[in-house]
Structure 1
Amino acid sequence: MYKLMIVEDEPLIRMGLQKYLDWKELGFHEIVEAENGAEGVHTALKEKPDLVITDIRMPLMDGLEMIGSLRDTLPETLFVIWTGYNDFEYAREALRLGNVSAYLLKPLQYEESLRTIQNCVKQLEQKREQARLASAIQHNLVENMQLKRSRFLKQLLEDGGASADTGQLADLCGMNAADMQLQPFVLSYVPASVPSPQSRAWWRQSAEQLLTDLLQRMIPSIERQHLFCYSSHHKMYAFTVTDEEQAPYLMLPPLQQEAERLLRGAAVEPDVRLYFALGPVTSDLPTLSSLLHQADQAFFARFIQDGARAFELRPSGADPLRTALIQLGDKDKMQLLACLEQGETEQLEQLMRRLGQELQAKAGQIPMEQGLGFIQEVIATGIRYAGKHGINIEETYHQRLLYLRFVDDFDSMPALFEWLTGWMLQLRTDAGQAARNGGAPDTAVFDQIEAYILQHIDQEITLQMVADRFFYNPSYLSRLFKTKLNKNYVAFVTEIRIAYAKRCLVQSKVPMTDVAQMCGYASYKHFVKTFRKMTDTTPSDYRKQMGMMD
């Protein structure tokens, strides 16, 4: 659809031109007016019409002057002069100079006028198509460059810079290799303990833009084309390339305060927190790789700096010698095993709470690796218990547990150890079920899953969410549904939703559309279709059968 502007000093003629052709049929959804060239300039700059039809002789500013004033500012706009025979040479001169696309002679001839406007519409269509193709080409070029940069950064992180090519980096950012200054940044998000599909999708869609916006607020001179980004799990790794020396530490007041404010304001998803770390400037790619990996150590500081969101990677040797040690003693290991063996839930929770408090108390005095080692020892004790009871840890439980990736999911040590306690309790439950079922889990686990689904029945509940809640490997859980229940997870959830819908329909007179939403169906049409497939009747007919209709 296009916009038309008519510029004519005679009101009756302006009105007549609006009625002369079927402008909507020709593709013009809006018509604006101006009564002279001066007003035409003002209106055109505001409305940005696609086509302008103008007289030549008008007070204040004639049509040719108006076109001359607008053609550079509105290069995509087409101009058609409508003029009398006496001004015909002016119109022809305007055509030769490129000011106008066509002209119409007074008095207008309908067929000629229609053909002229139709030709203008074809030109507008061609311009739009050319613009669309140019935009698509540019978009592909940008995406291709971003992909190359992302791959470069991924390789840098994976091989530690051993195969990093400074020349390749220079080509990717169009700079002289000898002048490049590199500064690392990492943005991390901490979701709720059971990340929702919405929070994951929000992070995938928003992470790079969030980081870009944050950096541009902190470093106004930075240009987007000098930013390399790569996303992995809950982190967005990045570095900037500039040809001017930057200050090695940007996290200084008031920059620190501004970063904290931006990080808090950017997390629009509920129960999502953002954390940011930056390192010093370097010109060496292997050093850059090391600094990016050290961001994990900087993020570990959130467990001891209550409320802090932005952290600075300190240069090597900046920290005083740390002599504090922490390890899981034999006594604690034996007590942990005893609690698991004997099913002493309360004692287990107290022990895990104390271990978390001990780690938090020393977290500021030990390297991050030692803190992770302590957590790994706690997990290893659970693995020892699982092995004794015939549970295959790697097959059954999520890799985020085995490889400590779950640490990224928490912003406090108590929350982290509460989650670990939950795994220990689930481990105890699974071991008991395996013992009762000759070494294999029994169907009692599905009762737990059903209870969890009913607690969140009005929400989207994916297999991944259930796996996260019960610490399972999603593949293992999927196989469990097929081998034990002879159905997949989706069928299991659908049965629960429809059974719940039946109860809602019988026990209340809530409108059918509300029942659909209460059962987790955003689409009422989909709810009815699923209900009919499962019950051979519609929700309204079912309610009638149960005698619940007025």
Structure 2
Amino acid sequence: MYKAIIVDDEAVVRVGLKNTIQWREHGFELAGDYANGRDAWEAIEQDKPDLVISDISMPFMDGLELAGLIAASYPYIKVIILTGFDEFEYAQQALRLKVSDFVLKPITAREIRGLLDKARSEMDEERQRREDLSRLQSQLKQSVPLLRERFLERLVAVGLGKAEIEDRFAYFGLPPLGAGSVAVVADIDDFGDRELLSYAHDVEFLRFAAFDIFEEIAGRENAIVFRTREERMVVILTGEGDGNELYETAFRYAEEARHHIEKFLSFTVTAGIGRIVPSAELLPDSYKGALSALDYRFLHGKNRVLSILDLEGRPEAAPPAAMAWDRKLVSAVKTGSIREAQELIERGIAELKQSRVPIETCFLQMQKVVLSLMNAIQEVVPHDREASIDSQMMLMEVYRFKTLDEIEAWLKQVVSAVMTEIAENRNHFTNAQIHKAVEYIETNYANDKMSLQDLCRHVLMSTSYFSLVFKQHTGETFVEYLTGVRIAKAKELLRSTSLKFYEIAAEVGYGDPNYFSILFKKRAGMTPKDYRDGPAKESGT
């Protein structure tokens, strides 16, 4: 069953569509109806429907502007535009926005049913195409040669020289990378409720089906896709323009792939996005950042797109951990898993005991662990903030112990201190970004075009992660907070000036005085006129 919403400022149209169409008979669940594009966009960001049926002419945000936002952020959502304007210009713009259908009003219930059946048929065909086992098996036989994948894995994992990169790119027919590149790493969370046979090739087939989705999307972007020996999917995106634009492309790419895998294959993936690097030789820095972002799945849950910029800001990349045990311990420390970190310490110490290596080797191993933890702090704590942990003292302190049991207890204390340091800095970073966002809202509240996307570009965070932490810190969504600021400013103007109501509406960012009055009454419990004539005049509140 697909989800659909209706957007039309005419209540009679919305009621008619709701009551005269048997939505479930056509394969749809009607998830909601909205009177303007602004309210509909908030619902789309929250529920992500499969189909949007929208009028063009509406207050606050028209249908084409809504379609543009959908195309930019959720390209997999189908849009049908209903309009009373028989204008070629509107049709052209709708085509540019990849609108599924552009239909002139008045439209009959029979025509609506036809549109729904057509949309469902297209969605069913897409689902069938993705689940077509014979097609996927055929593509599996013709997949990229192993040699190409191993070269790309070396490129991102260990790094290569410029000459070798250019030579191998030409040999494999790969598109050259631009001035900026970013790595995205995706990992299958689990296979959900899908029943698997006991044969390994069935698991491999499902992995390939997920990879096929990543490859298909790559055909629309300037992207290189491959799989690693750990069965992760890696995407290298490149571009010549603004870094923020490349970062948004990476997030949109990963979000679309995540959505399609969940919807069509019935299992989930989590993707990590690294930092943008200026050349192919530095791709290992972006790849390691993407792996670090993926580690945060333990903290934030499965089926997500996680960016290292959202989680750790923009510090310089630190050297990799020396050993697999070190890397796992650092991963647990950075994601805040104290229990996992302590278990790793106990396991590592137990392995040292069983190996019966000389005590000098044990001390050297512990120094490597401490260095890995210090690198973790340097990755997260900005250079302009001084860490409270003295790394030199910690490196020397390990030599004062006489048994591995003492070292184990000491290392657990060290890990606890490092986790506290990282957690405090993460809170500092998030608080700083939210404070920056609040300042931006309070400075630019009069701009009636202000959007969540503009704000996220200003603070360099993705919209989904920003919305999560903003509400955690302020108790309100972006729209609720912006409305609160605007209404508070309007109250000041009502108390202290003789400006007309429509002038005050414009001053606080509302081009439509009626919409301003509705919001003001909803927030203040009275109309702007009553507020000016009543309590505001008598008490000044």
Q: Provide TM-score, normalisation by structure 1.
A: 0.31
State the TM-score, normalized to the length of structure 2: 0.31
